[in-house]
Amino acid sequence: MQRNEHVNSRDLVIVEKYEATVSYLYPILQSFPRRHGALRDSMIGMLMDTVGLLYQAAMSKQASRLYAADAHLATLRFWLRFACGKKLLSHHQHQVALRYLAETGAMLGAWIHKVKGNGRSGQ
């Protein structure tokens, strides 16, 4: 595997943290009833798409990419709340998933703050 010299390994720690979210949610989402297949597939797609957004942000080092990843996490939180309201997720599963997402979100927020701070100092 070729290593990309444009990506700081510290920036990719967030991907490792997010992997715990995927590992927790993926089997739960897979077990949604067939009649909720569209929601299940959409949520699984969002779960997977977030990884790409995090890698894109790490490679580009652009705040706009970080904001896109943050918006994606917010959208995923919305759909988790919706699924909990429809009794597809238990309250406990919803809370655990939110904790995992909060950890990733906190790291992303710190990353955004760092990038914004570097942008100002370079002007």
Q: Is the dihedral of CA 70, 100, 20, 26 positive or negative?
A: negative
Q: What percent of the chain has pLDDT over 90?
A: 76
Does residue 123 fall inside a structural domain? no
Question: Residue 6 carries which DSSP code?
Answer: T
pLDDT reported for residue 9? 74
SS3 121: helix
Q: Is residue 30 one of the residues assigned to a domain?
A: yes
Q: In degrees rounded to 5, what are phi and psi of residue 89?
A: -120, 140
Domain total in the chain: 1
- With respect to residue 76, please indicate whether it lies within any of the assigned structural domains: yes
- Identify whether 1 is part of a domain: no
In a domain? residue 114: yes
* Whether residue 1 has pLDDT greater than 80: no
Tell me whether residue 18 is in a domain. yes
Is 3 part of any domain? no
The burial of 49, by beta-carbon neighbours within 10 Å (0-12 exposed, 13-18 middle, 19 or more buried), is given as middle
Q: For the segment 42-90, what is each residue's pLDDT rounded down to a tens digit?
A: 999 999 999 999 999 888 878 899 999 999 999 999 999 999 999 999 9
- Domain residue limits at 38: 9-118
The model's confidence at residue 3, banded by pLDDT at 50, 70 and 90, is very low
CATH of the domain at 113: 1.20.1440.60
Residue 4 belongs to a domain: no
Interaxial angle between packed helices 13-30 and 91-121, expressed in degrees from 0 to 180 and rounded to the nearest 10 = 150
Residue 113 has pLDDT above 50, yes or no: yes
Q: What SS3 class is residue 12?
A: helix
